[in-house]
Amino acid sequence: MSDYLPPLRDMDFLFNEVFDIPAVWSRIPALAEHIDADTAKAILEQAGKVIAQVVAPLNRSGDEQGCRWDAGRVITPEGFTQAYRTYAEDGWVGVTGEVAYGGMGMPKVIGAQVEEMLNAANLSFGLYPMLTAGACLSLLNHASEALKAQYLPAMYEGRWAGSMCLTEPHAGTDLGLIRTRAEAQADGSYRVSGTKIFITGGEQDLSENIIHLVLAKLPDAPAGAKGISLFLVPKIMVNDDGSLAQANAVSCGSIEHKMGIKASATCVMNFDGATGYLVGDLNKGLNAMFTMMNYERLGVGIQGLALGERSYQNAIEYARERLQSRAPTGPVAAAQAADPIIVHPDVRRMLLTMKTLNEGGRAFSTYVALQLDLAKYSEDADERRSAQAQVALLTPVAKAFMTDMGLETTVHGQQVFGGHGYIREWGQEQLIRDCRITQIYEGTNGIQAMDLVGRKVLGDGGQAYAALSAQIKAFAQSLAPSRAEFATPLLAAVDNLDQLTAWVLDRAQGNPREIGAAAVEYLHVFGYTLYAYLWAQMADVAVAHTDDSFYASKLGTARFYFARLLPRIHSLSASVRAGSDSLFLLDAEQL
């Protein structure tokens, strides 16, 4: 596997030329006092340096060693504890954390770039601080002032980690079925009892303490999801002065043996009358937990992008060096026995597909992160509402589309390597195994697609979608006539998505099966159309600087996207319009 190179130049391009993010920061007082273009560049350069030099070298060894479970203890692979200590001491666990509790106070758009670099370097390692950051976000937004003051500073420091405990052996997507119970105590705490599975970082040897956020029900709680509450359950109890006390009644029963992310501890956690503290209101636990889950869903989408970027970096280096056959037009490296495989059209197709999806995905994740910042920090109420609506609409697309494209990109990278991509020493097969989970956890991509169609598009009668569609059309129509090669197909793609959205809205009124039947293909049409919007913005900047190699590459990649990838929307749209009938032609016994 090649050394990981943080894509800082591309991040700088998006920040300063495509979205002009420093100008956004300058007009929002809460951000202007913390961040500007120079600060952002310095932060990302330093994060990239630590990640590339300290974290990335542990990726393959961590996969080979995996985590070990020993009588309730989890031992992470060699080097992880030292690397985690370095990462935490530099402040990166709390990069977007609130300054009042010891965080760095950076906006999400900075955090998203750090997440991409960390996950590209080592996804298993990246999951530990990711879960902590998500837990901190839920506590920040829903916990009492006393809990925030007691727990957030040590979590932002990375001395204490966080976990999210939702799933049970019988309850995954349908959380209303959970059986974990909480009983109120005289001192205001709760005794939490039950078993949770698939708990990332539920036990590890990286931090002094682990702060579990646990969904549970009181004995008299309403049935179903309306009766779920959220509790903070520390692995080790905490004294009033912040020092650690005795162990809580929390234990790790085992860890899972997985296809990928083997250096990330995926635990079975047992709560045996453990002491916990209510976060938020009783029976409103899902509201508090979804604050964390929505954060994680963009983060998981970024994981797909990150693994695709690592795959591309490996593949492009290999394709430039691997000699095999001659170019169709005749020898290119005449002094050598064969030409490098990058001369072959099919290899070019795979490499350009990878490059295009990665750079489009980076623009998408940056755009969504920017909307999160506007929703949180903007002093303009209309801008906040618009950003909140876009975040709600785009989060399922970010999670599902970027991870679906991430898997495609890791597979392309393996294919470029040929047989060498199938064996362990080159690192490509690990990227595929690691990437596969991103389409499953934090809500499977099928669930994300149904959320997009059923809740986000149908839920408000298409209003949020209509606003985004109008925004894209306005941009396309504002482009100069010389940009018609991008504006014309972008407008056509949006018109197609408009019509498809109206078709799904109409059909869903009379047939409840239509949403599930259309959802995945509809989300992909949505994703490709969004990428066209973002690629048109990038091309609009690049076309004025084609004497520079970076911009010429960006422009050529944009043209590849519009020529070879955007047309995928036509077959996907045809699948959507085929409806649900063909899915139910066979009885269950005939399948």
Just list the catalytic residues: 442
Q: What type of residue sits at position 332?
A: V
- For the chain, the farthest-separated pair of C-alpha atoms sits apart, in whole angstroms, at 84
Cβ 542 vs Cβ 486: under 8 Å:
no
Alpha carbon 18 to chain centroid, angstroms: 21
Query: Which candidate, 317, 399, 392, places its Cα nearest to that of 361?
Result: 399
- The token pair at 351 is 């490499």
Residues 530 and 164: their CA atoms lie apart, in Å, by: 31
Which parts of 122-218 fold into alpha helices (H)? 123-142, 145-157
Query: Which candidate, 207, 214, 297, 300, places its Cα nearest to that of 261?
Result: 300
The Cα-based distances of 564 to 275, 474, 533 in angstroms read: 57, 24, 15
CA gyration radius for the chain? 24
Residues 114 and 379: their CA atoms lie apart, in Å, by: 26
The Cα-based distances of 73 to 77, 195, 266, 406 in angstroms read: 13, 17, 13, 33
Query: Which candidate, 215, 530, 581, 227, places its Cα nearest to that of 366?
Result: 530
Residues 310 and 296: their CA atoms lie apart, in Å, by: 21
Query: Which candidate, 395, 389, 393, 397, places its Cα nearest to that of 369?
Result: 395
> Alpha-carbon torsion 53, 155, 394, 301, what sign?
positive
Residues 249 and 246: their CA atoms lie apart, in Å, by: 10
Query: Which candidate, 271, 276, 216, places its Cα nearest to that of 249?
Result: 271
Cβ 371 vs Cβ 398: under 8 Å:
no
- The token pair at 83 is 């690397």
Helix (H, G, I), strand (E, B) or coil at 456: helix
> Alpha-carbon torsion 269, 272, 277, 283, what sign?
positive
